[in-house]
Structure 1
């Protein structure tokens, strides 16, 4: 945003044009005489408003919307010359108005890219801004965009399988959480707590993850949908820890919540998780029934979702000697797609399933994949 250190008639005229006001309307807007504004327009840098009027102009600029700020900065850039000393009178700190708009647009594009596992493009969009600005130079709006970018970078790293370490999902989520805490946005902080719980589960810290999920499932900072997701993931952690019957009961409650909320995608994912819980309990027929529901209702335009569905389906088929070959085939297809999409965590899950469920262990063993 532009900051005017010392107003002259030049900056006042640029503001009037940016606000798209006539001389008379601008004078009324500021509470000064028409002749005063006309003098600014005529003399430009040769005249300076009085100190109290300088403060009024500061307020008018602060209250201008984003589009007006952009026009103001553009007006000054078009008329400014070194001999006028414009650089000493006006500075731009942090993102300019147009950069805020571009940054917001890039975040929306990054969300779409991540949903399609286009990691390279999403990484470019996010780091374009994270590398351009440092938090100390940003106002609250800039900090919000910075934190959102950092959280999305955490999602990217999580989906790529970088869970812990300095260049990991955990590091990004913790950084974003710190900024949202500073901005006092409890809902965003709670969402980052949920993401950090997922990281704990993916790191096989199942007891820690389950405790965090249980707390977040009743956390009023979260939306009803996010609380239901936390409840579902309590069940996922329990099932991974071998407590399949309890896990199924918890997951069923979350499934009913998604049905009540008419969240079709979450409802489908819940059936996938229920299928795996019943597989773990050795109830393969029920597992296949839940899996059929998940496969028939899931939105499979995302490589991640297709890999998760095929991995879960293959896991269940592989648990029955009669369908073992079908399970291996489904897992092979899932592994190929995961490799193409760069889903390294999913690849590790598939390999774990092959090793632990391929006729070597009991139906209750093996990895279910991550909660995210």
Structure 2
């Protein structure tokens, strides 16, 4: 059943039309003067009836039958498709109760779309709300949804490799963090700090990212799972910086904690990262064993995770002159899927691995083996 948070002239007109009443009959139905109803309809969303009249309108809607409610909801939905000038007036009234429900549903759909790397659909879902409201005009509930939408936009931009600049993950995460700080939600603020640390690592600032992860690994604002992920990512940053032994110790501890927490996806991802640490330390047999565990236990079949797994596997295979050709084939497959889904950052990583391998193997062309 449709409800109204705050009545304006827009909703009053929609109710009159849904009841199929003239202005005069509708005024009699409510017990107000016809000129009052005419004024509401003339000013539209720019006027709000008095509190006592708001209650009368609530009662009139509450007593309406199902068919009237259906017409009323349809009329309001059509009002959302009004010209831009009219929408600007409508927006000043803020979201209505059913808007909050639809917004929340769209955010859940966005999470699913992002897990499948369906970036276009995810952006459309987020943009329909972020472009509709101005955060300074929202109440706390609306502001929370706006912050969550902005954080998800950051996730989308991060996965697309948009790291820095005004249309980047860093900008969106910082904006969302500011709103959560205003709302005094420490856990969400800390989660955004973790996301910003990931972006810092992706931008190549490994020492800075490592320090951020170290702080968050012992931050009580975060859940135990997020603190464990931060510890794992300390190891990732250290491994990328060549500190593979200590990185492996941190990652091994994280794997044990993920197992205790019953987090199979994180457990599998941690094996992937630990495999790369052992590759960096020159322990290829252990690296191959661990990447095998990661590939056979991966919980999700999302394109992003497939690309990451195959990139890590190819990287390890390139480290042995006897399997360079196999490694290049694996990387080619990973690059093709990354390009297919718009995973720009993964494509850059694959190209960096190829170039590094070429230098290490002293190859004139990437596709020639190290024994030639």
TM range (shorter): 0.7 to 0.9
Match of 2:120 in 1: 120
SS at match of 2:253: helix
In 1, distance between residues paired with 2:7 and 2:300? Answer: 52
SS at match of 2:103: helix
In 1, distance between residues paired with 2:208 and 2:319? Answer: 28
Match of 1:323 in 2: 323
What's the CA shift for 1:54? 4.2
Match of 2:22 in 1: none
1:45 to 14, 21, 32: 32
CA pair 361-169 structure 1, distance change in 2 beyond 3 A = farther
Q: Is the 8 A contact 1:321 1:359 kept in 2?
A: no
Q: Does 1:311 align with 2:311?
A: yes
SS at match of 2:218: coil
Alignment of 1:82-231 (within 5 A): 93-231=93-231
Match of 2:238 in 1: 238
What's the CA shift for 1:99? 1.5
Greater relative CO (CA pairs within 8 A, separation 6+): 1
In 2, distance between residues paired with 1:91 and 1:106? Answer: 19
Alignment of 1:254-293 (within 5 A): 254-293=254-293
Q: Is the 8 A contact 1:319 1:358 kept in 2?
A: no
Match of 1:349 in 2: 349
Q: CA RMSD in A?
A: 3.3
CA pair 91-154 structure 1, distance change in 2 beyond 3 A = closer
Match of 2:46 in 1: none
What's the CA shift for 1:2? 3.8
1:249-270 deviation line (CA, Å, top 9, x unaligned): 0111111110000100000000
In 1, distance between residues paired with 2:189 and 2:256? Answer: 26
In 2, distance between residues paired with 1:269 and 1:153? Answer: 23
SS at match of 2:6: strand
In 1, distance between residues paired with 2:328 and 2:7? Answer: 68
What's the CA shift for 1:357? 2.0
Q: Is the 8 A contact 1:299 1:305 kept in 2?
A: no
In 2, distance between residues paired with 1:252 and 1:268? Answer: 12
In 2, distance between residues paired with 1:74 and 1:299? Answer: 45
Structure 2 spans left out of the alignment, 5+ residues: 16-26, 37-49, 63-68, 77-89, 363-372
SS at match of 1:161: coil
What's the CA shift for 1:164? 0.5
Q: Is the 8 A contact 1:307 1:338 kept in 2?
A: yes
SS at match of 1:288: helix
What's the CA shift for 1:300? 4.5
Structure 1 spans left out of the alignment, 5+ residues: 15-39, 65-70, 79-89, 363-372
Q: TM-score, normalised by structure 1?
A: 0.76
1:3 to 6, 17, 21: 6
1:309-367 deviation line (CA, Å, top 9, x unaligned): 000000000000011111011000000000001001000000000001235269xxxxx
CA pair 53-288 structure 1, distance change in 2 beyond 3 A = closer
In 2, distance between residues paired with 1:156 and 1:244? Answer: 30
In 2, distance between residues paired with 1:143 and 1:112? Answer: 22
- Give aligned pairs, total: 312
